[in-house]
């Protein structure tokens, strides 16, 4: 049994990771500032420490007292599309928060560090995105994820801390944050249906994505500490089955039992148009994993969403650069949050 720290363990993917680690017999502690997650989602049996990964004193004290064996770092500011408008929050949380954890891990003898990275590291590169391609992030969020991956490589080489990074994309499932208006298309769409609002799609909805059911990827992630062949590497993990965002909206309507629910088109935004990954490298190391069909995963998510009901929208941050630099689509979301378009 290992003592595992899951940062972001009150959030969506981190809480599933915490649950899976507990069911594998590990002791689990969670560090989360509850900016996006909720205490009620921390699985029974895991201990919640409420606080931020940016709080150096707290992080150092926690590591010194708790003597973690493994760290699963899932806490992040994760609204990618808006990340360049909140640079300080993005880099402060995603880079410096990660550095604080790496330092504390080195000081206290942590034996493995797992990092939640993202396909955002690839930017507008070739598709399917492959680990062998040179990453060129297209936004501040991708820059931050790549920086941490690189720092972990350096730390393993120079100071011997084994790590594995997982480049995930468009993960969905039960307990996804439905309050955040800036990210998680699946959760946004279910919440819009529950709130009786049209489903909002950016541009024509032709963006191509692969949507991954959360439990499929978590089953892979929790095996990283004992999979030595995976150490020192970053892997794509998730589904390679693609859909457009418009198809997703239609599938969500079907899963929720409202196939004619209206779909509204918002101004297009600057985003990667085709994003999905090749996963052979991870499959070679971890073996095959379940690839839950979209309709099945959405049916489970729909049942969960209906059981919790509509969520009040809220943004957990302020846009740092205001005025004309706020993109048109983001202004639409801000108007919605303030009730200006009602």
Ligand X SMILES: NC(=O)c1ccc[n+]([C@@H]2O[C@H](COP(=O)([O-])OP(=O)(O)OC[C@H]3O[C@@H](n4cnc5c(N)ncnc54)[C@H](O)[C@@H]3O)[C@@H](O)[C@H]2O)c1
Site for ligand X in 96-115 (CB under 6 A): 97
Contact code string over 174-203 relative to ligand X, x by CB under 6 A: ---x--------------------------
Site for ligand X in 148-177 (CB under 6 A): 168-171, 177
- Region near ligand X per CB under 6 A, out of 71-79, 193-201, 239-247, 281-289: 71-79
DSSP structure string for 29-79: EEEE-SSSS-GGGSPTTPEEEE--TT-HHHHHHHHHHH--SEEEE------
Q: Which of 4, 5, 6, 13 binds ligand X (CB under 6 A)?
A: 13
Residue 211 vs 261, nearer CB to ligand X: 211
Site for ligand X in 45-64 (CB under 6 A): 52-54
Return phi, psi of residue 139, to 5°. Answer: -150, 175
Q: Do the Cβ atoms of 195 and 237 come closer than 8 Å?
A: no
Q: Does 285 bind ligand X (CB under 6 A)?
A: no
Min dist. Cβ of residue 292 to ligand X (A):
15
CA dihedral 110, 214, 207, 190 (to 10 degrees): -130
Q: How far apart are CA 187 and CA 172, in angstroms?
A: 8
Instruction: Tell me the β-bridge partners of 167.
Output: 117, 236
Q: Does 216 bind ligand X (CB under 6 A)?
A: no
Q: CB 148: neighbour CB atoms within 10 A?
A: 26
H or E element that contains 283: helix 280-286
- Region near ligand X per CB under 6 A, out of 34-42, 155-163, 251-259, 261-269: 34-42
Residue 11 vs 205, nearer CB to ligand X: 11
DSSP helix/strand/coil, 4: strand
- How many of the chain's residues bind ligand X (CB under 6 A)? 31
Q: Which of 4, 5, 6, 8 binds ligand X (CB under 6 A)?
A: 8
Residue 112 vs 166, nearer CB to ligand X: 166
198 DSSP 8-state letter: P
Binding site for ligand X (CB under 6 A): 7-8, 10-14, 31-37, 52-54, 74-78, 93, 97, 116, 118, 168-171, 177
């Amino acid at each position: 049994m290992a003592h595992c720290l899951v940062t972001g363990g009150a959030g969506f993917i981190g809480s599933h990771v915490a649950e899976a680690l507990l069911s594998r017999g590990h002791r689990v502690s969670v560090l989360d500032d509850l900016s996006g997650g909720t205490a009620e989602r921390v699985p029974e049996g895991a201990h919640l420490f409420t606080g931020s990964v940016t709080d150096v004193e707290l992080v150092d004290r926690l590591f010194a007292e708790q003597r973690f064996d493994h760290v699963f770092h899932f806490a992040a500011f994760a609204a990618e599309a808006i990340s360049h408008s909140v640079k300080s929050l993005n880099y402060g949380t995603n880079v410096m928060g990660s550095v604080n954890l790496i330092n504390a891990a080195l000081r206290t003898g942590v034996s493995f560090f797992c990092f939640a990275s993202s396909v955002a590291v690839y930017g507008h590169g070739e598709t399917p995105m492959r680990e062998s391609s040179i990453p060129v992030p297209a936004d501040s969020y991708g820059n931050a994820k790549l920086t941490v991956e690189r720092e972990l490589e350096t730390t393993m080489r120079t100071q011997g801390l084994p790590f594995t990074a997982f480049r995930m994309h468009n993960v969905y499932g039960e307990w996804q944050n439905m309050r955040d208006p800036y990210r998680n298309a699946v959760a946004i769409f279910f919440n819009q249906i529950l709130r009786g609002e049209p489903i909002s799609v950016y541009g024509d909805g032709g963006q191509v994505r692969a949507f991954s059911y959360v439990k499929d990827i978590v089953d892979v992630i929790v095996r990283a500490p004992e999979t030595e062949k995976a150490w020192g590497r970053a892997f794509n993990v998730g589904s390679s089955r693609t859909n457009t965002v418009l198809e997703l909206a239609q599938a969500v309507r079907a899963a929720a039992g409202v196939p004619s629910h209206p779909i509204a088109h918002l101004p297009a935004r600057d985003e990667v148009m085709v994003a999905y990954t090749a996963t052979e490298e991870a499959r070679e190391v971890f073996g095959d994993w379940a690839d839950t069909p979209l309709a099945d995963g959405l049916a489970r998510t729909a049942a969960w969403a209906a059981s919790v009901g509509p969520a009040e929208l809220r943004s957990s941050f302020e846009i740092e650069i205001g005025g004309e630099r706020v993109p048109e689509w983001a202004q639409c979301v801000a108007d919605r949050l303030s009730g200006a378009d009602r």
